[in-house]
Amino acid sequence: MDSANIDTVRPAPEAAKTAPKADVKALVTLCDPDMVAVNALITERMQSEVAVIPALAAHLIAAGGKRLRPLLCVAAARLCGTDNTHHYNLSAAVEFIHTATLLHDDVVDSSQLRRGKVAAHLIWGAPSSVLVGDFLFARAFELMVETGSLRALDILSKASAIITQGEVLQLMKAFDLNLTQADYIEIISSKTAALFSAASESGAVAAGASEDRIQALYSYGLNLGLAFQIQDDVLDYQGSAADLGKNAGDDFAEGKSTLPLILAMRASRDTDAAFWDRTIGKREQAPGDFERAQALMASSGALDEARAVARAYAEKARAALSIFDAGPWRQALENLAVYSVDRQT
């Protein structure tokens, strides 16, 4: 089934030493022919005779987003030299699972904005958002079943269960003054990185790759997902709604225990204990509190420290690719790792 790993011990040629850039364009360009097929599949499979379903799904899916997860799945399959197109189905499935979680998250968090647009539940109502999320989740499994790959099904069904556990845990741990960095990593490993790793791992599986390559792409996805989420959480204290396409400050308002908050609370525990106790411990927030939190994050070095943690995960992601020959796919994925932490939106 697999002869792709015979060259893994070759010395890396010169091209591998090209310093990676914070650039996702090379990846997008390389994936473009595949993504045309994936996007067609996404549009085809979100259809339903029940008109509200494609309307609501299109609102979110057409708004785009980065399509990072399907890109990952495609790139993993291509890096492993696939000779089939199972990664089309898996990529569409991964995007459906992600979209379903966004729809449900926005209901759970009562979010106002998503991808720069009014959140779907505010237009079609929370019930429709819940049910259309369920629909997309079911359709994701239909797409996976068509590949005939029980292993890919296993990876993505396990990831789906892990994601929901991470989201419930995050919900339980909101407004928790005592959350640790380890708790936080556990939460984002589940709620975010599990789907990144499942996307890249299942892409490798669909390509019939060897175990060491499958494992390498799992590790790449996991560490990339951690880096990506930490940077997301940094941006929530750094950016504005216009930059992010969602509400900056949402995490603070929801008492979401993200790394910037954990590090800032730790660094300013002695000087600003009363502020954190009121705004997070007692959930009493007033106008100006978010700005004060932002200022404390900058002055305490918490944002810089969080960025450094993100960079370390991005570096681990890059390192996981070392078993692959140098080439455009590996280079593009290395660039993505740098981009995940250097991006400002």
Which spans of this chain sit near a second copy (rule: CB under 8 A)?
Answer: 48-50, 52-53, 100-101, 104, 107-109, 126-128, 130-135, 137-139, 141-142, 144-145, 148, 150, 153-154, 157-158, 160-161, 163-165, 167-169, 171-172
Q: Which is nearer to a second copy, 58 or 131 (CB)?
A: 131
Minimum CB distance to a second copy, residue 201 (Å): 15
Opening angle at CA 308, ends 95 and 237, nearest 5: 65
Minimum CB distance to a second copy, residue 57 (Å): 11
Q: Which is nearer to a second copy, 127 or 301 (CB)?
A: 127
Three-state secondary structure call for residue 273: helix
Phi/psi at 344 (5° precision): -110, 0
Minimum CB distance to a second copy, residue 145 (Å): 5
Q: Give the C-alpha separation, 292 to 17, whole Å.
A: 43
Q: Which is nearer to a second copy, 12 or 122 (CB)?
A: 122
Q: Which is nearer to a second copy, 119 or 317 (CB)?
A: 119
Q: Which is nearer to a second copy, 14 or 49 (CB)?
A: 49
Q: Which is nearer to a second copy, 33 or 127 (CB)?
A: 127
Residue spans of beta strands (DSSP E) within the chain: 113-114, 117-118
Distance of CA 214 to the CA centre of its chain: 19
State the DSSP code for 4. G
Tell how strand 113-114 and strand 117-118 pair up. antiparallel
Minimum CB distance to a second copy, residue 40 (Å): 19
Structural element, H or E, at residue 15:
none
Minimum CB distance to a second copy, residue 257 (Å): 15
Minimum CB distance to a second copy, residue 323 (Å): 28
How many helices (H) and strands (E) the chain has is answered by: 17, 2
Q: Give the C-alpha separation, 314 to 328, whole Å.
A: 18
Q: Give the C-alpha separation, 340 to 74, whole Å.
A: 17
Minimum CB distance to a second copy, residue 248 (Å): 22
Three-state secondary structure call for residue 113: strand
Q: Give the C-alpha separation, 37 to 45, whole Å.
A: 12
Minimum CB distance to a second copy, residue 93 (Å): 10
Q: Which is nearer to a second copy, 50 or 308 (CB)?
A: 50
Structural element, H or E, at residue 174:
none
Q: Which is nearer to a second copy, 190 or 231 (CB)?
A: 190
Q: Which is nearer to a second copy, 80 or 153 (CB)?
A: 153
Provide the β-strand partners of residue 114.
Answer: 117
Structural element, H or E, at residue 321:
none
Q: Which is nearer to a second copy, 110 or 271 (CB)?
A: 110
Q: Give the C-alpha separation, 171 to 109, whole Å.
A: 9
Q: Which two tokens stand for residue 199?
A: 């996307």
Q: Give the C-alpha separation, 122 to 112, whole Å.
A: 7
Cβ neighbours for 176, distance < 8 A, ≥ 6 positions apart: 255, 257, 280
Q: Which two tokens stand for residue 294?
A: 């932002």
Minimum CB distance to a second copy, residue 143 (Å): 9
Minimum CB distance to a second copy, residue 50 (Å): 5
